Amino acid sequence: MRKYLFSLFFLLLPALCFGLTVDTPTVGELIPAGSVYTSIQWTPAVGSTKFNIYASYDNGLTWSTPLNTTGKVPGTTFDWTIPLMTKNKTKCKIKVIGYNDAGTKLEAGYSSAFTIDVLNVTYPNVLTDVLDAGHIQNVTWGTATLSTVTNAKLLYTVDGGLTWLPIAAIAGNPGVYAWTVPQFGSDQNANLMVVLMNGTAKVASDISGTFVIEASLKGNANASGSFSMPYMDYDYYTLPGIAGTHIFDVTMNGAGLFDHTTYASSLNPPPSSAANVPYTVYPDGQIVAGNARGIISSDDSMILLAELGKGKLLGSGLAIKTASGLSNAVLDGTYFIGQIGMNLAGGSWGSRFTATFYGDGNANLHCDDMTGGCAFTDLAITYTVDALTGRVSDSLGQQGMVTADGKVFTLVDFNAADNMISRLVGMKKSSGGLSDATAAGKFIAATFGVSDTHGPWTDIFQLKLNGKGGGSAT
């Protein structure tokens, strides 16, 4: 009996130890979606001559129909065209079933788990990736799918995915995007989502691992460098009022002192220069500079200031950091413009424009709101951008400043013929995909104006917008 059992053990040993094994794909292998995998390989046991191959994308819970659609495979390799998918599959397996010449099923073997790779957010992606709020960081992703991609969407969340807020909608699939990281009052754990599209059809999406947005609290060092500030002041204590438009050269030392000189004045003699004027930048972005107060932008490139003087005097300016090497080409595309103006006899007005800049010194203004100060529907103008400073002038006599990236410009003007002063701010039109959700989060805003009853005023607001068309201001 003992001899019989010993012989039976050796008869079973080949089946137990040398059954069908799937050699590739190997454990953890990354296979691009849409590619041809050359090849699935297996080692059969004695007796198996034909094979069916199956794929599972959920760790073996369910299996596909045979991948070999034209009959059983007579060899021990198979080239597999990986299907296109909309997200990474990290628990894929291959099953191979062997049959003998009579078609009887003899055995089955399984591969180790592997990944079908579609799309991967590569940065930021881990807790050690720390992004400074208010600064520009390059978001990167890699694409393995061979499916056609026409555009991409980027979103982020700071509440574990309960709410996704849009970052940008971009053409094509560049694999990188310069993200201006939003400001927060405290450090935030965040995740990033990249969605690839073919027209309106989703191709793939991936969510990053958790990374950190580090609250970037402002200080005096954020206001550092050379700025040009188109400035407008108006005193209507008596009629006609006294007004001026100027462009100040402002140098801020990053340590709480600034100097300013006057570059140009469209009306009155320029205000006197001043040196070693104190300023303070507060953690939330408010700034007090001499007698003026306002806010600094998240990327430190712009400072909005308003100054209250005696009587009914209000002065305000938008300072933009100077940049050399610019040309007319920096203004290129469609811009939305808001303009305010005041007649020195006591009237005021506002207008909205759409401007098309052609990048060659030519532009067209289209009035969107004829109820304001517009005197035309469409008007062709010329403009010049100074290569040394980024200052802008146009054929209407307006002078101002443009940011280094060309996204924002501001101009001021005094029109002696109409007895008016005016200021406009233009912002470049964003690509599609904007909605109420774009304006979501915490903001700081400065407002200023004049009133017949109360005179000039300025206010600083903390805004909390919910991305659904509502919010609060304090």
* Sequence-distant (≥ 6) Cβ neighbours of residue 349 within 8 angstroms: 340, 341, 342, 343, 372, 373
Q: Which two tokens stand for residue 20?
A: 């069908």
Q: Are the C-beta atoms of 121 and 194 separated by less than 8 Å? A: yes
pLDDT one-digit tens code per residue, 85-102 = 877 888 999 999 999 999
Q: Which two tokens stand for residue 144?
A: 């393995």
Does residue 4 have a pLDDT over 50?
no
Look up residue 378 and give its amino acid: D
C-alpha span between 291 and 313 (Å, rounded): 12
**CA-based end-to-end distance of the chain:** 93
| DSSP assignment string, 249-297 | EEEEESSSEEEEEEEEESSSPPPPPEEEEEEEE-TTSEEEETTEEEEE-
More confident: 469 or 379: 379
Residue 167: which of 195, 129, 130 has the closest Cα? Answer: 195
More confident: 146 or 53: 53
More confident: 132 or 26: 26
More confident: 147 or 354: 354
Give the pLDDT score at 194: 95
Task: Read off the pLDDT band of 242 (50, 70, 90).
Answer: low
C-alpha span between 458 and 308 (Å, rounded): 8
C-alpha span between 64 and 28 (Å, rounded): 20
Q: Are the C-beta atoms of 175 and 140 separated by less than 8 Å? A: yes
| Average pLDDT of the segment spanning 219-229 | 92
Task: Read off the pLDDT band of 269 (50, 70, 90).
Answer: low
Task: Read off the pLDDT band of 245 (50, 70, 90).
Answer: confident
More confident: 148 or 435: 148
Give the pLDDT score at 345: 65
Q: Which two tokens stand for residue 83?
A: 């299907």
Output phi, psi for 39, to 5 deg: -150, 165
Q: Which two tokens stand for residue 186?
A: 């405290």
Least confident of 394-398, 401-405, 441-445, 452-456: 452-456
pLDDT one-digit tens code per residue, 159-218 = 999 999 999 999 999 999 989 888 777 889 999 999 999 999 888 889 999 999 988 788
pLDDT one-digit tens code per residue, 271-308 = 667 888 999 998 888 999 988 899 998 889 999 998 87
Give the pLDDT score at 193: 96
Pairing of strands 302-308, 313-321: antiparallel
Give the pLDDT score at 180: 84
pTM of the model: 0.60
C-alpha span between 48 and 68 (Å, rounded): 16
